[in-house]
A and B are shown apart, each in its own frame.
Chain A
Amino acid sequence: MAGALLTRSHVLFAGIWPAWYLLASHRNLGWRHLLRYSLLGVLPVAVAGSLLAAYNSHRFGGMLDFGLDYHLMDEVFAADYARFGAFSLHYVASNAYYQLLAYPFASPTFGNPVMMGGSLFLLSPVFFAAFWAVARSRPRANALLLVATIVCTDIPILLLMGTGWVHFGPRYTLDFTVPLLLLTALGLEHWSARTVRWLTEISLAHYICGAIVLAQILDRGCANVEMVQVMAPEQDCPYAHKAEPWSSHSRIVAALACLPPGTKILDVGTATGTLGQALSGRGFLLHGIEPNPSWARVARAYYAELDCCTLDGAPENRLSGHDAVACADVLEHLADPEKSLRRLVNLEPVGCRFVISVPNVANVWVRLNLLLGRFDYGKRGILDGTHLRFFTRASLLRLVAAVGLQVAAFSATPVPLHLAYPRHKRRPSEQNVRHEPGSRDRGLAHVAWLSVCRASRQERVRRWESERRYR
């Protein structure tokens, strides 16, 4: 049981029946011996518990802290976790449904078959014998203790966030399969041989077919054992590739495309890998960071390495050693962009090139709307609902200077009229507005939709010059 405690803590409850059986079968030894043996039996579990407490304390500072607050979980879970925590009565209904009732039909959801667990009893009807055991077996204490063991092990499973998940079969029931199997064995005594054989054959047919279908689903990349795909990532992701030659993506690709093959490029916030796709085939060593797991899964095809984490949560060794860094429309999503960017800049080598783009909140359209009393968030654009910070041309340059970057070039992209008017085509002469870093053209601040800044990390003495320049 010490091993069970150190594998999944709640599996410790699966030891209730064996512990009771050992005590009951040795009750003629006398209470002193029983107490001594019980203490000897509990000792390894206590040692394992102490080791686990020390392990947690060493990692996160609390003996019972498993670090769930920092869990890189799917978005579907993140909302529930923020609201209800890891264990809550809120999850019981859906968990019980997927564990006991749902039949895992391969249902088409966004073109992909999705299976969410499955009924313990419908998929493995042999387990129905457990009910016969409770009703008919004598002495009943054995059966009742087995039921208590199963219930005690299952309670944490039902309370746990997210046990209804893409899989064939109720996988968490494996924790109490052993006592359930013994209970079933007790019940099988009351069934005919033919019934046992037929129900076993049904269970085998279910699971062999299920295992093959699940393997096919996983092969197609439609689902993952640990991930549910409520929406196809491409549909879920509002940040599509902007192929227009005057778009920020094209500006960033153009800025990076001139680098020699073999250049190590870090793409911060890959979304579904639009930038990686545009840069692929040029011989670059692309490394991406994306906190959204479902987007990261799609983006992975375009990157040599991809970490599913936030910029702040990325380990230091993953943020160093790059020749170029792209922060394409990322900084506005961060709570403290200066701190995050400063950390990144300090970790990268001197001379590392940075290409940064942010939306320009001083755009004339936003100004006019604000003048009319409107400041409404949308699904994308300058007032994207997920933006935490807003930048103007001046505040972007101040930020870039403050973190120790020296601006090499600054350009702005025009309003994407083609989104509102698909037939609109811009003449090449109007495609973008470029400015040298020292330029003070105020008109740019009004018309620019996105600001694209190319900078590089410089020696410390030049950093102060840069800061003074844009102050």
Chain B
Amino acid sequence: MTSCAQSRAQYLEPHSDLSQRRLLCWESPIWSALLALAVYSLLASTRALPWAVSSSPYYNYLADALLHGQVNLRLVPPITHDLIAFDGQYYLYWPPFPAALLLPFVAVFGVDFSDIAFTLGVAALNVALVALVLREACARSLIHLSPRRRALLVLFFALGTVHVTLAPLGAGMVHRPTGCLCLCRFGLPRSY
């Protein structure tokens, strides 16, 4: 705790102006998640409301099927492109973990639950996890970056990679790095 606080204090002294402080918000997991969520929501709202349903909410339909004890879709989505049509039934060829995460939401709100809002939340969580992983890696001396550089790297991940174009679309791909980030986050021993 002390080592990181010292490095942060050392770093802050020569760059104490407002823009530097704003940038350092991205180094904080909570602030980075909130900022990323705001930007992603803004980008999502250029197409549809962030609480709308995407054009292909397939995992919602799979979650609905799982809730009814079946692995084939109980309801047919508005678009069937990319689904599996086998033996008169529709299936998803992707493994079902994202649908398992959606189960409680679909149980309460039905298949019209906003997968875009859910994806925005997962995307913001990813950004927070990146900030946490970089902090932990720094504390474990795996990497040697100042808080400002870590903030830039988190900002880069949030808004300078393909993550930013996928998150506002409600694309299920955003779930993919979450598992790896969780492993890195919880695999690295806590030092704070």
Name A's B-contacting residues (CB within 8 A): 1-9, 11, 14-15, 18, 21-22, 25, 52, 55, 58-60, 66-68, 70-74, 118, 123-124, 126, 142, 167-175, 177-179, 181-182, 184-186, 188-189, 193, 196-197, 200, 203-204, 206-208, 210-212, 214-216, 218-219, 224-227, 293, 296, 307-310, 313-316, 318
Contact = CB atoms under 8 A, between A and B. Distances in A.
Contacts of A170: 162
Given A7-B95, A171-B162, A182-B137, A226 B179 contact: no
15 contacts: A4-B183, A18-B187, A55-B96, A58-B71, A71-B83, A126-B160, A169-B166, A171-B173, A174-B173, A185-B143, A196-B152, A207-B160, A207-B162, A208-B43, A308-B79
A188 B149 contact: yes
Contacts of A167: 162, 165
Given A58-B71, A60-B86, A11 B81 contact: no
Contact of B180 (A6, A74, A178, A211): A178
A224 to B, nearest CB: 8
Nearest to B182: A3
Contacts of B161: 124, 169, 174, 177, 203, 207
Contact of A4 (B157, B159, B162, B179): B179
- The 9 tightest CB contacts between A and B, nearest first, are A203-B160, A169-B162, A6-B97, A4-B179, A313-B85, A67-B84, A3-B179, A70-B86, A14-B180
Nearest to B146: A193
A54 B72 CA distance: 14
B181 interface: yes
Contact of A178 (B86, B149, B181): B181
B16 to A, nearest CB: 16
A208 B159 contact: yes
Nearest to B39: A208
Given A174-B162, A293-B81, A7 B184 contact: no
B160 A200 contact: yes
Given A126-B160, A181-B153, A11 B180 contact: yes
Interface centre among B183, B187, B189 (most CB of A within 10 A): B183
Contact of A215 (B43, B86, B157, B182): B43
Contact of A185 (B88, B94, B134, B165): B134
A80 B85 CA distance: 19
A188 B144 CA distance: 9
Given A168-B165, A208-B164, 16 more contacts: A1-B183, A4-B180, A8-B94, A8-B176, A15-B180, A22-B187, A55-B95, A70-B84, A124-B160, A171-B165, A174-B166, A174-B174, A177-B177, A181-B130, A185-B153, A216-B46
B80 interface: yes
A466 B142 CA distance: 82
Place the interface of chain B in its size category. Answer: 35 or more
Interface of B: 43, 46-47, 55-56, 71-72, 76, 79-86, 88-91, 93-98, 100, 130, 133-134, 137, 142-145, 148-150, 152-153, 155-157, 159-166, 168-169, 171, 173-184, 187-189
B72, B145, B162, B182 pick with most chain A CB within 10 angstroms: B162
Contacts of B91: 59-60, 67, 70
B86 A21 contact: no
Contacts of B133: 178, 182
A5 B179 CA distance: 9
Contacts of B182: 3
Contacts of A126: 153, 156, 160
Contacts of A318: 76
Given A70-B86, A124-B156, A142-B142, A226 B43 contact: no
A11 B183 contact: no
A246 to B, nearest CB: 35
A224 B54 CA distance: 12
A212 B80 contact: no
Contacts of B144: 189
Contact of A184 (B76, B86, B153): B153
Contacts of B159: 203-204, 207-208
A212 B182 CA distance: 30
Contacts of B71: 55, 58-59
A228 to B, nearest CB: 12
A225 B171 contact: yes
A68 B145 CA distance: 45
Contact of A7 (B86, B165, B175): B175
B94 to A, nearest CB: 7
A309 B80 contact: yes
A315 B171 contact: no
Contacts of B178: 3
Nearest to B130: A181
A157 to B, nearest CB: 11
Contacts of B163: 174, 177
B9 to A, nearest CB: 18
Contacts of A216: 46
A265 to B, nearest CB: 18
Given A8-B95, A185-B137, A203-B156, A193 B149 contact: yes
Given A173-B162, A188-B153, A309-B85, A71 B93 contact: yes
A6 B83 CA distance: 17
A174 B177 contact: yes
A225 B84 CA distance: 18
Contacts of A207: 159-162, 164-165
Contacts of A15: 180, 183
A22 B122 CA distance: 26
A218 B47 contact: yes
